[in-house]
């Protein structure tokens, strides 16, 4: 905000006039970032002053080249990270069961995932406090 209020000598304040209809019908590459910033033809601009007429939008602004470079570097980093993720070998030995998918087994203590059978060895440590059922469970009619 300080930069917009008091631009340095190497930053030029530009005057750009837009037709509102062109913006609304997306005839031009224009996008509002927020009330004090917009993107036009891939460049970021900080708004110094904005005036509106019935048909047009008059904007005094500063081309924010530093933010554009920062955005490009971020995009490169995301792209590089996604390529690295694709190049990592897939793990063939899965030691987990996906909770979101039902087990394809009648036996609740074992399930098959990717061709491997996993047996729940912790079931041997479970002991019920009540060994006998006092009454049969209720039936829904």
Euclidean distance between CA atoms 120 and 51, whole angstroms = 69
State the pLDDT confidence band at 134, using cuts at 50, 70 and 90.
low
Please give the structure tokens belonging to residue 100: 């979101």
* 89, pLDDT greater than 60: yes
Flag whether the pTM goes above 0.85: no
Looking at residue 18, its pLDDT comes to 95
State the pLDDT confidence band at 133, using cuts at 50, 70 and 90.
low
CA neighbor of 65 nearest in space, from 40, 88, 44: 44
Euclidean distance between CA atoms 76 and 79, whole angstroms = 5
CA neighbor of 43 nearest in space, from 2, 83, 12, 20: 12
Range with lowest mean pLDDT among 69-73, 95-99, 120-124: 95-99
Q: Which residues contact 7 (CB under 8 A, 6 or more apart)?
A: 13, 48, 62
Domain boundaries, the chain: 2-66, 95-124
């Amino acid at each position: 905000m300080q930069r917009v209020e008091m631009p340095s000598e190497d930053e030029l304040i530009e005057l750009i006039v837009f037709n509102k209809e062109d913006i609304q019908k997306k005839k031009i590459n224009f996008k509002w970032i927020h009330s004090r910033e917009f993107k036009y033809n891939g460049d970021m601009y900080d708004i110094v002053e904005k005036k509106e007429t019935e048909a047009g939008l008059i904007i005094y602004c500063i081309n924010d080249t530093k933010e554009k470079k920062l955005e490009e570097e971020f995009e490169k980093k995301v792209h590089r990270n996604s390529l690295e993720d694709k190049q990592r070998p897939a793990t063939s030995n899965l030691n987990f069961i996906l909770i979101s998918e039902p087990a394809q087994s009648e036996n609740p203590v074992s399930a098959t995932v990717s061709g491997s059978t996993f047996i729940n060895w912790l079931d041997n440590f479970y002991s019920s406090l009540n060994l006998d059922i006092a009454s049969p469970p209720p039936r829904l009619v």
